[in-house]
Amino acid sequence: MRKHYIDNIRWITVVLVVIYHVFYMYNAEGILGGLGKITGLSVQYYDAFMYLVYPWFMPVLFLIAGISSRLYLAGHTDRDYVRSRTGKLLVPSTIGLFAFQFIQGYVSMSIGGGFEGLRAEGVPGPVIFLIMVASGSGVLWFMHLLWLYSMILVLVRRIEGRRLLSFGAKTPLWLILLFFFPVLGAGQVLNTPIISVYRIAFYFVFFMLGYYVFSNDEVMEKLKRYAIPFIAAGAALCVIFTIRYFFVGHGLNYADKPVNREPLYAACAYFGSLAMLAGMARFGDFSNGFTSWMSKKSFGLYVFHYLGISSVALFIAKPGLLPAPVCYMISLLAGFLLGFVLYEVISRIPFFRWAVLGIRKENKDVQG
């Protein structure tokens, strides 16, 4: 039976990612990667939204990716899994850069003045081109890590003989709470410098917990039973985090050290993810026309939304053609509209649907 709450978590989280990236593009806290502040406000209080969602919305995607891997492998071989994940994740995040995402690289580098800086330093044109292509990775970092974790999972399954799932099904509630400590510990290691999103160990823990623990119906029944306390705890922690680092800390960088190494960040990431998982399993396990449509389009929205947002920033907001509030609204609209339109177009073009979206003609709608 299809677990509709997993589909709903996925598309709802992607919608939050789109909204987050609009605020991120014009943030006033100095978080690098976007255009930066375009308003005359002394404090952009709505930037608090970034602090509320950032610690947990990518961890929960890795968590359900682990659950989805369990569902897929229940009816497929390891070889099928490797082939599927390579086609869906690795191809779009590598070949897709040259086939399409270099456009995102051009826009991103143009926003930050990257071309001018590289030319001033005498960097050869071909090297600048490769840097531009690499800059097109953008949101595809998630796919890089997820492919890596998927390959590691295949090795782990062979080593442990697929016995750990039975132990995971017996996980008591108190141990679920204590999993916070591995999350906290993993957050201290294997964090890449400069590009802070590649937190290799941190997200890996979420992926493996999803596969070995939260993919079990016995565990999910426990979470559903205590969904309201988990929702309350997750929401409270995220509010405390926002107060601590945005209001009291005057906009400390939530995306890099030392903030993303601290216990409060790990608590928001873990218990915020559990709040989403438990809440949706109990209250969001349903499907209708709208949720089904969003579930089918959410991957394309994730892959393409940032191009719409960043293009508005480059061509409208940066030269100051329109007032800041209008730029925000157009950016949000462009994120959704271009995300959906590009997905509909590219998914119908034979080579590009494979290179950019990992879609093969024979793909079926299999959960996982």
In Å, what is the CA distance from 132 to each residue of 120, 306, 316, 335?
A: 16, 16, 21, 21
> Residue 363 above 70 pLDDT?
no
**Is the distance from CB of 333 to CB of 322 less than 8 angstroms?**
no
Strand partners, 191: 199
Which residue type occupies 309?
Answer: I
Span 53-75, average pLDDT: 97
Residue 361 lies in a domain: no
Q: Please tell me the distance from the alpha carbon of residue 210 to that of residue 85, in angstroms, as a whole number.
A: 17
Quick one: pLDDT at residue 1?
73
pLDDT number for residue 4? 97
Does residue 199 carry a pLDDT above 70? yes
Number of domains in the chain: 1
Q: How confident is the model at residue 314 (pLDDT cuts 50, 70, 90)?
A: very high
> Does 168 reside within a domain?
yes
Residues 6+ apart with CB under 8 A from 23: 46, 47, 49, 50
364 assigned to some structural domain:
no
Domain that holds residue 172: 4-353
In a domain, 240, yes or no: yes
Q: How confident is the model at residue 162 (pLDDT cuts 50, 70, 90)?
A: confident
CA distance 199 to 300: 24
Q: Is residue 237 part of a domain?
A: yes
| pLDDT over 90 (residue 361) | no
On whether the CB atoms of residues 260 and 31 are closer than 8 A, the answer is: no
The residue with greater pLDDT, 303 or 32, is: 303
Does residue 254 register a pLDDT over 60?
A: yes
Which of 114-123, 171-180, 231-240, 356-365 is predicted least confidently?
A: 356-365
Does some domain include residue 165? yes
CA distance 22 to 50: 10
Contacts for 157 with CB less than 8 Å, ≥ 6 apart = 73, 78
Is 288 part of any domain? yes
Inside any domain, residue 363: no
Residues 73-82 as b or e (16 or more Cβ within 10 Å = b): beeeeeeebb
Is the predicted pLDDT of residue 18 greater than 60, yes or no? yes
pLDDT exceeds cutoff 80 at 316 = yes
Task: Report the helix count and the strand count for the chain, using DSSP H and E.
Answer: 18, 0
The two tokens of residue 227 are 């969904």
Task: Give the chain's mean pLDDT.
Answer: 96
pLDDT in tens, 319-333: 999 999 999 999 999
